[in-house]
Amino acid sequence: MTEYSRMAKGSFTASASTAIINLPFIPDYVEVNNYTNIAAAAAASKTLRAFWDNTLIVSSNNPTMLEGYSSGSVMVGDVIATNGISTFYAGLSQQFGPAQQVVASTKGNTTSFQVTGHGYQVGDTVIFRGLFQSATTGMPQMNGIPFTITTITDANNFVVNYNSNNAAYTNLSASPASAFVEKVLYPFLYVPQDNVITAITTGSTTTITTSMYHNFEVGQEVAFRIPNAWGTTQLNSLPNLVIPGSPVYGYVISVTDNWTFVVNINSSAYTAFTTNIAVASVPGLTFPQVVPVGDVNTGGNVIFSGSSLYPAPRFPTSSSRVSTINGPAIRGAFVNNTSQGFIIGAGTATNNTSIKIMAANDVIEWRAFLHDYSSP
Amino acid sequence: MSITTTGNLGPMILQSLAPAMLYVPTPTMNYITVCDKVSMPANGGTTCRFMRPRALQPPTVQLGNSGIDPPAQVPQRDIIDAQMAFFGTGCIINEQVILQDQEGVLAWVSERLAVAMRQAEDLILRDYIVSAASEINAGGGSNGFNPTNLGVSDFSLVATTLDTNNAYKFMTGIEGMDRFGTGPVRSAYFMLSSTELQSDFDALVGSGFLNQWNYPTNASALPSEYGSVYNIRILTSSEAPVARNAVANSSGTLNDLYYNTVLGKQAITHINQDGYSMNLIYRDPYYSGMLAQNATLAVKFAQAQAITQDTAIRQLLCTRQSNLGV
């Protein structure tokens, strides 16, 4: 062993064909062994081992090398040119993926977008811009709102949580010149965060739907900022007519899913929430928001099977939860979630395009290194 | 006649080092400037907890003559938690570098590490505010984007919002003086903006913008202060958050999106733990390997941050009057 090198290893059961591995360093070499495929009998188009070196550049790509079975179940070598193993540095906000043309959209209680070969997954957060069909039509009310994708319809279509099912919205078609979408690379560097509201169900308690993962916990104290155009302004923390100056907050009493939660405010008599806002009103339109204020929690996350007694905070809120790399904290606290490490991507091999590094439920063993000496 | 020139008798050593190092371009760090500062004690756990009492209902109903006391109120409070996080970076410097380099490597690397640490503090606060503070889209400009470029009504709207929320201003006003070209400055909140917006601020001269140079006295102006509009004094920095080409109009023209943080006192709190901030750590080569070849220089710090008065902060989002391509 040399003096300053870094080595790490681990294993996990894959929940999908991609995975993010947080490390205390950015590796320059990664090995991934697919135990499930190694243990099984030879089968067509399976990866046994993948390895990646950050100094290996071929045709401007930094490929991932594979050992696995061909389509004829014969041991072969192959290469994933892009979207194999790569590193990440989630330390700064305002980093975006490439802009992709929005071809068309379909309005409804949720809104569907057609983007050719979008490459997104459920859980990716995207931002639209220029959703105009003409100067006076389209869906520009949705511009600038971060949306965490709820459904991947197919390789060219996905769905976000936004009710565009009213007269103010017009479907996009024929690839409008201004309409693009970008992926937000690191949307949850700090949690909990400000969230844009896309739906409110009023009643004896109030159900809130957000555009992206809200990352709120039960017991979270929240405040609302709802401009007049969106309807339910009575939820706003100020003004307070009973105790002037004292903000009125709500508490999260249940978390339905990553986009939906319930607060303890009786909104039965409040104005209905609406997204029916004219295109002409878009310049200067401020979005309805819910912001974290505080919490009433006193301990760590809810103890679940396999967790330590005081686990680190986890996000997103309700499913596929990932721990932050910090130690224990209070549920609902403001938490730093910056991180670094490597990504196992869902890219396919060059010669056999059916081969990926892993699939859901595969048992994966990995090792990551940062070497003292590298040539070049 | 033979003339000896540097072509046939050049200096033995061609270069000499200029007497001073060149400056390192470094953004002004405004976010840390406007934060409240709190220190968590040692052995104080992982999380800093703030408590803010809630107002009690003013007793505006008269007691009457029944002799019966009104029902008691239950005092309540808001709890705000922030988890401490640790950061650090360093350099490994071979003794041959220290031995042979003409400049004091350890000295300037130490300085760079210190600046990197301070800049990290500021960037963390910047990104945290972008993440957690609520937003208002500017609508007072005329460029047709959402948000628009900044108009004076946007400054008025945000200051009105914070005033209505009973936020505390940072600065008292500056009384007018009998000096040409100057005007009084109102008591003010701070707005942390990008240097790229300075041309848009200049365009508001005569409409409400007062350059810092036109204050009656700039004794209270901060080094990064560009000017003021109504009840907002503007600090600019090149590291203020900008999302490039994030906004498009119907013809596909792109504009950058700027996050202007407008805040009052105690809106944001920066927390360290027991002075665990600005630790510069030097380890002599003696501690590295059997030949003691490498020294290390490193910094580490602990930091947490919280929005401690959510009513006293807004992000005023805007685009520019025109994208100048800078």
DSSP class per residue in B275-290: T-S-EEEEE-GGGSTT
The residue among A129, A65, A141, A124 whose CA lies nearest residue A100 is A129
Write the DSSP symbol of residue A94. Answer: -
Domain enclosing residue A172, as ranges = 100-184
Q: Is B206 exposed, middle or buried (0-12, 13-18, 19+ CB in 10 A)?
A: exposed
Strands A322-323 and A220-225: unpaired
pLDDT (mean) for A185-192 = 94
Q: A60 and chain B: CB distance < 8 Å anywhere?
A: no
Cα–Cα distance between A303 and B255 in angstroms, integer?
A: 47
Range scoring the smallest mean pLDDT among A165-174, A308-317, B151-160: A308-317
The answer to whether residue A375 is domain-embedded is no
Q: How far is B60 from chain A (nearest CA, A)?
A: 10
Question: Looking at A184, A209, A235, which one is the last position of a domain?
Answer: A184
The b-or-e profile of B32-46 (16+ CB within 10 A means b, else e) is bbbbeebebeeeeeb
C-beta separation of B201 from B151 below 8 A:
no
What's the Cα-to-Cα distance from A144 to each of A127, A130, B245, B279, B317, rounded to whole Å? 6, 9, 11, 40, 11
pLDDT digits (tens, 9 = 90+) for A330-341: 889 999 999 999
What band does B324 get if pLDDT is binned at 50, 70 and 90?
low
Q: Give yes or no: residues A204 and A179 share one domain.
A: no
The answer to whether residue A82 is domain-embedded is yes
Say what the pLDDT of residue A312 is: 81
Say what the pLDDT of residue A1 is: 47
Residues 236-265 of B with CB under 8 A from A: 241-243, 245-254, 257
Gyration radius (Cα) of chain B, Å? 27
The answer to whether residue A318 is domain-embedded is no
Residue-range domain boundaries for chain B:
137-266+309-318
pLDDT over 60 at A328, yes or no: yes
pLDDT over 90 at A297, yes or no: no
Residue A210 belongs to domain with CATH number: 2.40.30.180
What band does A70 get if pLDDT is binned at 50, 70 and 90?
very high
pLDDT over 80 at A299, yes or no: no
Tell me what the pLDDT averaged over chain B comes to.
93
Q: How far is B84 from chain A (nearest CA, A)?
A: 8
pLDDT digits (tens, 9 = 90+) for A148-164: 999 999 999 999 999 99
What band does A270 get if pLDDT is binned at 50, 70 and 90?
very high
Q: Give yes or no: residues A244 and A198 share one domain.
A: yes
Check CB contact under 8 Å for B250 and A190. Answer: no
Query: Residue B324 corresponds to which tokens in the numbers above?
Result: 């100048």
C-beta separation of A93 from B127 below 8 A:
yes
Which residues make Cβ contacts (< 8 Å) with residue A112, sequence separation at least 6?
Answer: A105, A106, A153, A157, A158, A159
The separation between the first and the last C-alpha atoms of chain B, rounded to the nearest angstrom, is 57
Q: How far is A178 from chain B (nearest CA, A)?
A: 4
Which chain A residue shows the shortest CA-CA distance from B46? Answer: A329
Strands A180-184 and A206-210: unpaired
Q: A306 and chain B: CB distance < 8 Å anywhere?
A: no
Check CB contact under 8 Å for B80 and A293. Answer: yes
C-beta separation of A132 from A138 below 8 A:
yes
Question: Looking at A167, A184, A201, which one is the last position of a domain?
Answer: A184
Three-class DSSP category at A252: strand
Which residues make Cβ contacts (< 8 Å) with residue B106, sequence separation at least 6?
Answer: B93, B98, B282, B295, B297
Q: Give yes or no: residues A197 and A180 share one domain.
A: no
Which chain B residue shows the shortest CA-CA distance from A284? Answer: B139
Which member of A96, A192, A284 has the closest CB to residue B138?
Answer: A284
pLDDT (mean) for A301-321 = 72
Say what the pLDDT of residue A2 is: 64
Say what the pLDDT of residue B101 is: 92
Range scoring the smallest mean pLDDT among A169-173, A228-232, A249-253, A294-298: A294-298
pLDDT over 70 at B198, yes or no: yes
SS3 string of B185-223?
ECCEEEEEEEHHHHHHHHCCECCCEEEHHHCCCCCCCCC
Please tell me whether the peptide bond between B147 and the residue prior to it is cis, using omega within 30 degrees of 0. yes
Tell me what the pLDDT averaged over chain A comes to.
93
Q: Give yes or no: residues A215 and A248 share one domain.
A: yes
Strands A157-160 and A111-114: antiparallel
pLDDT over 90 at B316, yes or no: yes
Q: Give yes or no: residues A12 and A50 share one domain.
A: yes
Q: How many domains does chain A have?
A: 3
pLDDT digits (tens, 9 = 90+) for A87-122: 999 999 989 999 999 999 999 999 999 999 999 989
Q: A217 and chain B: CB distance < 8 Å anywhere?
A: no
DSSP string covering B96-155:
HHHHH-SS-HHHHHHHHHHHHHHHHHHHHHHHHHHHHS-EEE--SSSS-SSS-B--HHHH
Angle at Cα A219 formed by Cα A213 and Cα A220, nearest 5°? 50
Check CB contact under 8 Å for A93 and B241. Answer: yes
The b-or-e profile of A5-23 (16+ CB within 10 A means b, else e) is eeebeeeeebeebbbebbb
The residue among A330, A323, A326 whose CA lies nearest residue A307 is A323
Check CB contact under 8 Å for B310 and A247. Answer: yes
What band does B29 get if pLDDT is binned at 50, 70 and 90?
very high
Check residues A304 and B135 and name the one with the higher pLDDT. Answer: B135
Q: What are phi and psi of B251, to 5 degrees?
A: -90, 5
Write the DSSP symbol of residue A39. Answer: H
Check residues A327 and B284 and name the one with the higher pLDDT. Answer: B284
Q: A334 and chain B: CB distance < 8 Å anywhere?
A: yes
Check CB contact under 8 Å for A285 and B82. Answer: no
* Contact residues on chain B for A129, CB-CB shorter than 8 A: 245-248, 254
Gyration radius (Cα) of chain A, Å? 23
Which chain A residue shows the shortest CA-CA distance from B313? Answer: A291
Residue B174 amino acid letter: I
Cα–Cα distance between A363 and A11 in angstroms, integer?
A: 7
Strands B254-263 and B242-248: antiparallel
Tell me what percent of the residues of chain A surpass a pLDDT of 70: 97
The answer to whether residue A31 is domain-embedded is yes
Cα–Cα distance between B215 and B221 in angstroms, integer?
A: 9
Say what the pLDDT of residue B19 is: 86
pLDDT digits (tens, 9 = 90+) for A202-216: 999 999 999 999 999
Q: Is A152 exposed, middle or buried (0-12, 13-18, 19+ CB in 10 A)?
A: middle
- Residue that has been written with the tokens 């007269």 in this structure: A167
Residues 84-123 of A with CB under 8 A from B: 92-94, 96, 99
The answer to whether residue A353 is domain-embedded is yes
Residue A139 belongs to domain with CATH number: 2.40.30.20
Q: Is B252 exposed, middle or buried (0-12, 13-18, 19+ CB in 10 A)?
A: middle
Interface test with A, best of B91, B150, B250 (most A CBs within 10 A): B250
* Contact residues on chain A for B85, CB-CB shorter than 8 A: 326, 335-336, 338
Residues 260-279 of A with CB under 8 A from B: none
Check CB contact under 8 Å for B78 and A180. Answer: no
The answer to whether residue A332 is domain-embedded is no
Q: Give yes or no: residues A125 and A199 share one domain.
A: no
Q: How far is B70 from chain A (nearest CA, A)?
A: 17
pLDDT over 70 at A348, yes or no: yes
Question: Looking at A152, A184, A216, which one is the last position of a domain?
Answer: A184
What band does B186 get if pLDDT is binned at 50, 70 and 90?
confident
Say what the pLDDT of residue B1 is: 72
Query: Residue B132 corresponds to which tokens in the numbers above?
Result: 């957690």
The answer to whether residue A164 is domain-embedded is yes
The answer to whether residue A315 is domain-embedded is no
Which member of A243, A328, A330 has the closest CB to residue B55?
Answer: A243
Q: Give yes or no: residues A136 and A152 share one domain.
A: yes
Cα–Cα distance between A205 and A218 in angstroms, integer?
A: 14
Q: Is B15 exposed, middle or buried (0-12, 13-18, 19+ CB in 10 A)?
A: exposed
pLDDT digits (tens, 9 = 90+) for A9-56: 999 999 889 899 999 999 999 999 999 999 999 999 999 999 999 999
The residue among A224, A211, A233, A302 whose CA lies nearest residue A263 is A224
pLDDT digits (tens, 9 = 90+) for B205-219: 999 999 999 998 888
Cα–Cα distance between B173 and B108 in angstroms, integer?
A: 41
ipTM: 0.92
Which member of A221, A289, A335 has the closest CB to residue B78?
Answer: A221
Q: What are the strands, taking DSSP E only, across A35-131?
A: 46-53, 64-69, 75-80, 85-90, 100-101, 104-106, 111-114, 125-129
Say what the pLDDT of residue B195 is: 97
Query: Residue B171 corresponds to which tokens in the numbers above?
Result: 């600065």
Q: Give yes or no: residues A73 and A105 share one domain.
A: no
What's the Cα-to-Cα distance from B288 to each of B93, B292, B295, rounded to whole Å? 11, 5, 7
Query: Residue A217 corresponds to which tokens in the numbers above?
Result: 């916990």
